[in-house]
Amino acid sequence: MLSRAVWCMSSFLHSSRRVVLFRAGSIQDGISFAHWLFQSQGVWHPGRLSVDQILFTEGMRLQVAASRAHPSACETVGMLQFLDTPNLSHLPPLLLFAPFAATELDCCVIPVRNNLKLIQTTDFFYANVDDPYTMGWITCCNVLSDLYAMGVVDCDNLLLLLGIPTAMSVEERTTITSLIMQGFQHPRLRISSIFLLQECALKAGTSVRGGQTTYNPWVLIGGAATAVVPDSEFIMPNQAEGGSVLVLTKPLGTQLAVTAYNWMLDRTDVWTEKCTPRISEEDMRSLYNAATLSMCRLNRNAARLMHKHGAQACTDVTGFGVLGHARNLAAVQTAAVTFEINRLPCLAGAYYLSKALASRHHLDTALTPETSGGLLIAMPEKNAEAYCRDLFEVDGTPSWIVGQVSAAATPAEARTARLSANVEIVEVPHETMFVVGVRFGQSGEEGVARPDLAFPL
């Protein structure tokens, strides 16, 4: 399929910060998310909307991509102790439910009536791409991934949380807010005889029914996701067993890619002195494009297949890096197990680029932050390869077995995660990220396309 469906990216044309020419097309009976996005939305250019040259990612220029507070920061003020060991004597019996999901993990799990559980999460972060529409889409993917990490496939409600920069004019605020909301969930549906194309929340089978907007010195964007499900429709993330393996559903290097791309556009000293000896501008644009499409891919199919293949525990990979999230996941396991990561799939060029930068950017530490990353799943070894094949069938993109779960050799190793001393770096071709949304629900309906010029979203 890939040989037929993937077009070679032949050249790139970058004409300004936000004005980029591109060509896109479809193959046979469908169009991919990438093609549809550029055909229906166009390339982000404030001028065509009578808006000044807004630097939407200004907040990220503060280099706070890893700004998410580590659980240890909460421990210093007693927050975790309060949340993990609450006084429940005043609660009705319905709410005396164990286990509560730990604060290190992705969602809270709360019992409600009729033997149902309310699963809820919230998340927000800084804009990392300049196109507000695409940023809305990425945010929706990122927020929903917390539910998907619990094996929840259907979200019942989404709320949008948005901080609009105070420096923007009224016109700019109106334009930017509208585009973010369109990416997060747009009311317009495009219907063809083959399949339905929807913006992110609608594509995820849910809708936004509220939220909050406020002013802030820079853009903050996030949301809250809620699902009410029976026990059979979610997977508690604490059942990993010795002898299982770890599967990762998206490559690493997304946040590094968008950060380095902005360095390139701004012609910073870091770009000139550290990056240019390692990567060309053409390859940097290709890396950025691949990272953007990876961030725009929902983890919904990955969550659905967790049930089929017996997933035992899962988390999504975001601000703590894959090892940081593995440590959080290992810490809440019922069994005394150890996670070891021995393979790091990275977008091609990202690892080599990272080694030219400060150590906090080195991908081989497995601690570099990601945005809208993949799911890290513990599952029986006998099921892992079939899971990866099935996910490729529905998403058109690869996943990888990246580690093992073993019984802890000593009490000190119990419920910990570590990086193998001989970790393998896997270079993931950018072309694999351009096969996005190859199926939209009905068997046999395929759509694959990609632009063959750059599209800084």
Give the pLDDT confidence score for residue 135 in this predicted structure.
84
Segment of 95-109, 214-228, 426-440 carrying the highest mean pLDDT: 214-228
User: With bands split at pLDDT 50, 70 and 90, how would you rate the model's confidence at 58?
Assistant: low
How high is the pLDDT of residue 333? 95
Q: What is the mean pLDDT of residues 348-358?
A: 94
Taking the C-alpha atoms of residue 440 and residue 13, their distance in angstroms, rounded to an integer, is 31
The answer, yes or no, to whether residue 11 has pLDDT greater than 50, is no
Residue 79 burial (C-beta neighbours within 10 Å; 0-12, 13-18, 19+)? middle
pLDDT at 103: 53
Phi-psi region of 342 (alpha: psi -120 to 50; beta: other; left: phi over 0): alpha
Is the confidence at residue 243, as pLDDT, over 70?
yes
Q: Is 283 helix (H, G, I), strand (E, B) or coil?
A: helix
Residue of 366, 341, 342 whose CA lies nearest to 354: 366
The CATH number that domain 2-434 falls under is: 3.90.650.10
Between CA 426 and CA 434 the distance in angstroms is: 18
Q: How confident is the model at residue 47 (pLDDT cuts 50, 70, 90)?
A: low
Q: What average pLDDT does the segment 82-98 reach?
A: 45
Copy the structure tokens of residue 110. 């709360």
* pTM of the model as a whole: 0.75
Its sign, for the CA torsion 259, 264, 270, 274, is positive
Which helix or strand (DSSP H or E) is residue 244 part of? Answer: strand 244-248
Question: Band of the pLDDT at 99, cuts 50, 70, 90?
Answer: very low
pLDDT of 309 above 60: yes
Q: What percent of the chain has pLDDT over 70?
A: 67
Q: pLDDT: is 356 or 65 the higher one?
A: 356
The token pair that represents 121 in the structure block? 């999460």
pLDDT in tens, 262-286: 999 999 999 999 999 999 999 999 9
Question: What pLDDT does 336 receive?
Answer: 97
Residue 4 phi, psi dihedral angles, 5° rounding: -85, -35
Cβ count within 10 A of residue 197: 22
DSSP letters, 414-435, are TTEEEEEEEEEEEEE-GGGGG-
Look up residue 145 and give its two tokens.
Answer: 């991934």
Task: For 377-409, write each residue's pLDDT tens digit.
Answer: 999 999 999 999 999 999 999 999 999 999 999
Residue keyed to tokens 């601000």: 319
CA torsion through residues 424, 416, 384, 387, sign: negative
State the first-to-last Cα distance of the chain, in angstroms, to the nearest integer. 27
pLDDT in tens, 324-333: 999 999 999 9
Per-residue model confidence (pLDDT) at position 200: 72
Phi, psi of 354, deg, nearest 5: -60, -30
At 213, the pLDDT band (50, 70, 90 cuts) reads confident
Per domain, the residue ranges of the chain are: 2-434
Q: What is the mean pLDDT of residues 50-60?
A: 53
Longest distance between any two alpha carbons in the chain, whole Å: 66
pLDDT-based confidence at 449, cuts 50/70/90?
A: very low
Query: Identity (one letter) of the amino acid at 189?
Result: L
Q: What is the chain's mean pLDDT, rounded?
A: 75
Read off the amino acid at residue 24. Answer: A
